[in-house]
Amino acid sequence: MNTAMNPIRRVVIAGGGTAGWMMAALMSKLLGKQLSIKLIESEEIGTVGVGEATIPALHTFHNLLGINEAEFMAATNATFKLGINFENWKNIGEDYFHSFGSTGNDHWSAGFQHFWLKGKAEGLSRTYTDYNPETVAAFANRFAHVQNHGLNYAYHLDASRYAVYLRAMSEDNGVQRIEGKIGQVLKHDPEAGNDIAGNIASLRMEDGSTIEGDLFIDCTGFRSLLLGEALGVGYEDWSYWLPCDRAVAVQTTSVRPAWPYTRSIAHPFGWQWRIPLQHRVGNGMVYSSKELSDADAPDMLRQNVEGELITKPRLIKFLPGQRNKVWERNCIAVGLAGGFVEPLESTSIHLIQRSAIRLMQLFPAGGVQQADVDEFNLQSKRELEHIRDFIVLHYHANERTDSNLWKHVREMNLLASLRHRIELFRNTARVFRPSDELFAENSWVQVMMGQGVTPSRYHPVADQMGQDELKRFLGDIQVKVQRTVAGLPAHHTYVEQLCAPYRSTDAMVMPLKRA
């Protein structure tokens, strides 16, 4: 494909929600003066909008947009997130914490886990999480921005308010929002005999109007109206490794001050999340329809939440996997339209962010070039498969015997890429990862040890330390962590103080007007 004679001037984003408005916000910020950007969404079509937890990479996106953190947090009722507490995942009654940031001090030749393992063998090590400031702060319900010793953090946010916040920014930068439903996707005549034959030409709305474009962004959710239905791009099914295929979500009132982490609680049929915001708690269950019926799921969720229900439970059906391509011809799928890995590690918003940034890096101003398309698809596929492997790890490494679900994921045939990572860690305590992968070494270490993957040996560099030196080394780290956390205020107090200057009726629904 080479449409260099057909430069991109008109961009049409099909669908709003988090995916559509994140894409519109970044594109209009960087290229708004050069492009006509239109976003189509309908108030009658609800968005999935249950993924309210994020990861630290969102800071990059916000920095690109020039977002004021306190203003954003006030507008979205956001709280801070230091990690995820996994409850009952390895086995019933056994919990572990996957924190952001690093644990202990690494040596260039070996990670901290090697020194911790030596200390454990000699009776010197405390719990692994005692050497991680994010974990200690999370369980103490403390947080603050600390200069030089800052905690690595993300956010819990109201996804609906976030979309509204980004919409205001986008419209300030020239994005035109069009209310309505898409009735038909129209393509260029396949007999036209030029480079655009078979490309999407326009979207015909249900009211009869037509919206033409040069580049189309498919943010239509699981349906994938443009890429999947109109262009016929197939879907790769990952349900063998990720057998949960349903989610039910509900909002509840807060019964205690917001804690700075996500709770992920495993059940025989799947798992549930609890995400505390400033004004409420987001709750949901991800489950296998073979283990729990859709009729019973809402009641099961009601039995496992705190506070009064604010909304009615909402059922969402999905198929884990990815489109064979996320960029085909002049259409790019973003968010759920391009693939879905369940929200266990809060990666949904991150993947939207990565698609937006990747498109800006490869934007086809002079026309769609096949080399750009291929690179975009290659990076997207590699990124999603890395995340898939990390999430499958949580399921596979378990000792639960209470349902067919946990038995299946423990005994299933693993993908070769994940099997290698587990064997390498079990045999040597080593984790090697390409620099462009999302989850760093400490993330793999925390989850593997938390799920019961125990290394049989550690790196010999740890033996360079004598017992007294190792004891001081570990003790100094632990004391430093305790001192850092002891100086932090309560999380909810800090959030309120941070947001108070922006707390107004307008700030709760949209960003403040900038001078």
Summarize pLDDT for 427-480 with one digit per residue, the tens.
999 999 888 899 999 999 999 999 999 999 999 999 999 999 999 999 999 999
Residue 413 confidence (pLDDT) above 80: yes
Domain boundary among 341, 364, 385: 385
- Residues 164 and 263 placed together within one structural domain of the fold: no
- Residue entry with tokens 């994140």: 22
> Would you say residue 168 lies in a domain?
yes
Q: With contact defined as beta carbons under 8 Å apart, do 87 and 112 qualify?
A: no
- Residue entry with tokens 């059940």: 267
CATH code, domain with 332: 3.50.50.60
Judge if pTM exceeds 0.85: yes
> Would you say residue 302 lies in a domain?
yes
- Residues 329 and 379 placed together within one structural domain of the fold: yes
- Residues 180 and 195 placed together within one structural domain of the fold: yes
Which pLDDT band, with edges at 50, 70 and 90, does 50 fall under?
low
Q: Output 52 or 372, whichever has higher pLDDT.
A: 372
DSSP state letter for 230: I
Summarize pLDDT for 264-323 with one digit per residue, the tens.
999 999 999 999 999 999 999 999 999 999 999 999 999 999 999 999 999 999 999 999
> Would you say residue 289 lies in a domain?
yes
* Average pLDDT, integer, range 496-507: 80
Q: Output 411 or 514, whichever has higher pLDDT.
A: 411
- Residues 163 and 232 placed together within one structural domain of the fold: yes
- Residues 25 and 72 placed together within one structural domain of the fold: yes
**Alpha helices, DSSP H, located in 402-510:** 404-411, 416-428, 441-450, 467-486, 491-499
> Would you say residue 149 lies in a domain?
no
> Would you say residue 349 lies in a domain?
yes
Q: Output 184 or 6, whichever has higher pLDDT.
A: 184
What pLDDT, on a 0 to 100 scale, did the predictor assign at position 190? 75
Q: What is the largest CA-CA distance in the chain?
A: 79
- Residues 289 and 229 placed together within one structural domain of the fold: no
What pLDDT, on a 0 to 100 scale, did the predictor assign at position 197? 84
What pLDDT, on a 0 to 100 scale, did the predictor assign at position 508? 42
Which pLDDT band, with edges at 50, 70 and 90, does 46 fall under?
low
- Residues 349 and 290 placed together within one structural domain of the fold: no
Nearest by Cα to 96 from 243, 216, 266, 227: 266
Domain boundary among 317, 342, 366: 317
Counting the structural domains of the chain, the total is: 2
Residue 5 confidence (pLDDT) above 70: no
Residue 371 CA to residue 356 CA, distance in Å, equals 18
Question: What count of other Cβ atoms lies within 10 Å of the Cβ of residue 34?
Answer: 11
Residue 192 confidence (pLDDT) above 70: no
> Would you say residue 424 lies in a domain?
no
- Residues 263 and 378 placed together within one structural domain of the fold: no
Domain that holds residue 302: 246-317
Residue 225 CA to residue 338 CA, distance in Å, equals 11
Residue 319 CA to residue 304 CA, distance in Å, equals 25
DSSP state letter for 45: S
Domain boundary among 385, 402, 418: 385
What pLDDT, on a 0 to 100 scale, did the predictor assign at position 147? 77
- Residue entry with tokens 């492009």: 35
Summarize pLDDT for 120-175 with one digit per residue, the tens.
999 999 999 999 999 999 999 999 998 766 899 999 999 999 999 999 999 999 99
> Would you say residue 128 lies in a domain?
no
Instruction: Return mean pLDDT, the chain.
Output: 93
> Would you say residue 381 lies in a domain?
yes
- Residues 332 and 311 placed together within one structural domain of the fold: no
- Residue 45, CB-side half-sphere exposure with 13 Å CA sphere: 16
Q: With contact defined as beta carbons under 8 Å apart, do 374 and 388 qualify?
A: no
Summarize pLDDT for 361-394 with one digit per residue, the tens.
999 999 999 999 999 999 999 999 999 999 999 9
- Residues 201 and 295 placed together within one structural domain of the fold: no
Which pLDDT band, with edges at 50, 70 and 90, does 514 fall under?
very low
Q: Does residue 53 sit in helix, strand or coil?
A: strand
- Residues 57 and 161 placed together within one structural domain of the fold: yes
- Residues 221 and 251 placed together within one structural domain of the fold: no
